[in-house]
Amino acid sequence: MTNVAVGDVSPELSGAASGVFNTTRQLGQALGTAAVGALLQATLHHTLTDEALRRSAGLPSAHRQEFVDSFEAVGDSGLFAQAPGNTGTAGAAGQQMQQLSTEVFNHGFVSAMRWTLLLPLGFAVLAALCCLGIRNHRAAAAPTALMNRPADTPVEGTSP
């Protein structure tokens, strides 16, 4: 890829071309990482809340809203200051909430990652299609140069 980016640049400008290419590549990596992180956070908030709502049906009614709210708070802040679902409830209900919290997070995270990975996959497909569109100008110019040479001139790489 570097050869394509700086291959047709004059030797005097090759250092500048290489610098621009590397800067562009690093900027693309930083923006791509930020985009994937933002998409993951947004998707994670949605999937965790949905999973918590779905799985809270098995909890006693007194604890359902508290359980769902703990996952909504995690999605809003993006931080695990307190483990979601760990609301300090003791006894069997507390154990059940702890087990459901693990299930909610596992299923919610896997679901969020599935959708989030479509973004880099889409860019990889787009990049592959762009690579197919790049033409090798030197290879295309070679047959023309051979056709325009005098008949008595030997072709490079062959013996007279």
- In this predicted model, which residue has the larger pLDDT, 140 or 32? 32
pLDDT of residue 150: 62
pLDDT of residue 1: 65
The domain segmentation of the chain, as residue ranges, is: 15-116
Provide the 8-state DSSP code for 41: H
How does the average pLDDT of the chain come out, rounded? Answer: 78
The full DSSP string for 70-137 is: HHHHHHHH---SS-TT-----HHHHHHHHHHHHHHHHHHHHHHHHHHTHHHHHHHHHHHHHHHH---H
pLDDT-above-70 percentage for the chain: 70
- In this predicted model, which residue has the larger pLDDT, 34 or 74? 34
4-8, 76-80, 118-122, range with the lowest pLDDT: 76-80
| Average pLDDT of the segment spanning 105-120 | 90
Q: Judge whether residue 127 has pLDDT over 80.
A: yes
Q: Is the pTM of this model over 0.85?
A: no
- In this predicted model, which residue has the larger pLDDT, 56 or 30? 30
Nearest to 82 by CA among 99, 96, 67, 62: 67
The predicted-structure confidence for 21-39, as pLDDT tens digits, reads as follows 899 989 999 999 999 999 9
pLDDT of residue 81: 45
| Phi/psi-derived region of residue 10, left when phi > 0, alpha when psi is between -120 and 50, beta in every other case | beta
| pLDDT interval class at 113 (50, 70, 90) | very high
pLDDT of residue 4: 67
Q: Judge whether residue 125 has pLDDT over 90.
A: yes
- In this predicted model, which residue has the larger pLDDT, 144 or 132? 132
